[in-house]
Amino acid sequence: MPIDTLPYEVPVAPSSARIRVAGLIGTTIEFSVLLALAGLLLLASVLPTRGAALDASLVRRGRYLAIAGDCVSCHTRAEGKPFAGGLAFHTPFGTVYSPNITPDPQTGIGAWSELEFDRALRKGMGKNGEHLYPVFPYPYFTKISDEDVAALYAYLQAIPAVKYTAPANDMTYPFGQRALLRVWKSLYFQEGRFKADDTKSVTWNRGAYLVEGLGHCSACHSPRNYLGGEKADEWMTGGVYQESLDDRPIDWSAVNLTSGENGLRAWSLQDLTNYLKLGYSPHASVHGPMISVVMNSTRNLTREDDEAIATYLKATAPNGPNDSRPPPEHLVSVGETLYSIHCGTCHLPTGLGSDSTAPPLAGSSVVLAPNPASMINTVLRGPVLPDQPPSPEWQNRKWQSMPAFGEKLSDEEAAALLSYVRHAWNNKEGAVTAEQVAKQR
């Protein structure tokens, strides 16, 4: 959903600090009383304006924070009103629907106090004390400061109220029992605010706050165990995100965001900043689930904040060992032939691409994601691109349009092609199987 359609500019109610004159008793008023009354009326005309300015400032700050947290992407269903909820999140434990967070008092959070909002945001507890599913990223939002919580609350209370109740969650047994989340939290949730590292720069610390807290990047970019907890030793090395396609969930692979060989090593600070701000860099154009992140969040941040995010990510220690086992020779041979026929013209025989044909595949973090789901989706259906340009720079890029090959390639052929791409030109990542392709088809 384009950011300019969202109700981010909202009318702000004046402060509650008002002076009301109910009436005067008696028929004779001394001049001094009149002067006092005039002063009070003058003060009354000033205070609401000043209060409104203070409230407006808080709401504007909350608006920006909501953009940084990409709240609208998760709390807006297709064709739904912004922030009214109802978006389905498919997990191994069932389907969770995002709630309405508009200020409607019956179906949204209009009747929530700031303390209740704080408790949900940073402790994962609902209005009635129920544990919230960690699809809501409170394990990251727990790092948000008190001041930012207050601003977010002010903003969400100021947007237009929408009366809508999201569908009930559809969880497989026994995961519908919220009491079990107490155990999950004891294992994987550590409450606490962000603490700046005095040995790092202001820019690095700002980036850390945005990535680890509001941006909750690790929610998608870290692998998880069978209980849905992050694998701490593989932090930010690439995860899996599910999205609905024709009423069924399909996987997308989130790339390694560390500075490892299969991550962001080849990206410069400017490359990464531009990707977040413009949706485009020499290494990749925004596609798939990252479209909503860039369109609704990062492109609308200040360039300083995008650069802070890039600074923090570029400084992360390399992580994420590659599966360097070579594919079987016959698979490589078939894959190389298919690559030459279908891909080599644009991506070039060297895999380096060019400014006028296609992005590079050699050293690509998308190609080298541990899970090949995103590459499989791209080969079968063509790249999923934004409906509208994130920026003029994105619109002016000269890469050729990539067609879908789903009808041209069998599962075995697509697997061979991708296995070759993931191991050619010093790429070192595991082979792709026909079963993996069939799952995504």
User: Does a structural domain hold residue 312?
Assistant: no
Can you give the CATH number for the domain in which 355 is found?
A: 1.10.760.10
pLDDT tens, position by position, 341-356: 999 999 999 999 999 9
Q: How many degrees, rounded to 5, is the angle at CA 254 between CA 380 and CA 267?
A: 105
Q: Of the residues 185, 214, 246, which one is the last residue of a structural domain?
A: 185
> What pLDDT, on a 0 to 100 scale, did the predictor assign at position 53?
52
User: Does a structural domain hold residue 271?
Assistant: no
pLDDT-above-90 percentage for the chain: 79
pLDDT tens, position by position, 405-421: 999 999 999 999 999 99
pLDDT tens, position by position, 81-118: 999 999 999 999 999 999 999 999 999 999 999 999 99
- Name the residue range of residue 379's domain: 329-440
User: Does a structural domain hold residue 372?
Assistant: yes
What is d(CA 272, CA 290) in angstroms, rounded to the nearest whole number? 14
pLDDT tens, position by position, 138-175: 999 999 999 999 999 999 999 999 999 999 999 999 99
> What pLDDT, on a 0 to 100 scale, did the predictor assign at position 374?
96
> What pLDDT, on a 0 to 100 scale, did the predictor assign at position 37?
37
User: Does a structural domain hold residue 206?
Assistant: no
Of 116, 136, 134, 135, the C-alpha closest to 126 is 116
The mean per-residue pLDDT over the stretch 371-398 comes to 92
Strands 239-245 and 170-171: unpaired
> What pLDDT, on a 0 to 100 scale, did the predictor assign at position 350?
97
User: Does a structural domain hold residue 59?
Assistant: yes
pLDDT tens, position by position, 15-61: 222 222 233 233 333 333 333 434 434 434 433 443 455 589 999 99
Label residue 13 by pLDDT band (50, 70, 90). Answer: very low
> What pLDDT, on a 0 to 100 scale, did the predictor assign at position 209?
98
Calculated CA dihedral for residues 287, 292, 293, 299, nearest 10 degrees: 90
> What pLDDT, on a 0 to 100 scale, did the predictor assign at position 54?
52
DSSP single-letter state for residue 168 = P
Number of domains in the chain: 2
Separation in Å, CA 428 to CA 65, 284, 362, 414? 39, 19, 10, 18
Do residues 249 and 243 lie in contact, with contact meaning Cβ atoms separated by under 8 Å?
A: yes
pLDDT tens, position by position, 50-80: 345 558 999 999 999 999 999 999 999 999 9
User: Does a structural domain hold residue 123?
Assistant: yes
Residue 220 has pLDDT above 50, yes or no: yes
- Going by C-beta distance under 8 Å and a sequence separation of 6 or more, which residues neighbour residue 406? 379, 380, 381, 414, 441
User: Does a structural domain hold residue 431?
Assistant: yes
Q: Of the residues 152, 185, 218, which one is the last residue of a structural domain?
A: 185
Tokens of 330: 């016959």
pLDDT tens, position by position, 323-337: 778 888 989 999 999
User: Locate tokens 């691109």: which residue?
Assistant: 385
User: Does a structural domain hold residue 279?
Assistant: no
Q: Of the residues 185, 220, 238, which one is the last residue of a structural domain?
A: 185
User: Locate tokens 């129920």: which residue?
Assistant: 130
What is d(CA 157, CA 155) in angstroms, rounded to the nearest whole number? 5
Of 98, 104, 81, 214, the C-alpha closest to 157 is 104
Mean pLDDT of all residues belonging to the chain: 87
Do residues 213 and 219 lie in contact, with contact meaning Cβ atoms separated by under 8 Å?
A: no
What is d(CA 15, CA 190) in angstroms, rounded to the nearest whole number? 36
